[in-house]
Homo-oligomer: A and B are copies of this chain.
Amino acid sequence: MALTPLHDRVLVERVEGEEKTSGGLIIPESAKEKPAEGIIVAVGEGARKDSGELIPMAVKKGDKILFGKWSGTEVTVDGKELLMMKESDVLGIIS
**Copies of this chain assembled into the complex:** 7
Residues of B within 8 A of A75 (CB): 25, 27-28, 35, 66, 91
Q: A75-B28, A78-B24, A81-B28 are in contact. Are A2 and B94 (CB under 8 A)?
A: yes
State whether B28 touches A74 (Cβ < 8 A): yes
Bound Cα distance from A23 to B81, whole angstroms: 15
Would you call B93 and A3 a contact (CB within 8 A)?
yes
Further contacts, 16 of them, CB under 8 A, given A25-B75, A73-B91: A1-B21, A4-B95, A5-B92, A6-B87, A23-B78, A25-B78, A26-B76, A27-B76, A28-B75, A33-B73, A35-B75, A35-B84, A44-B92, A50-B50, A66-B84, A68-B73
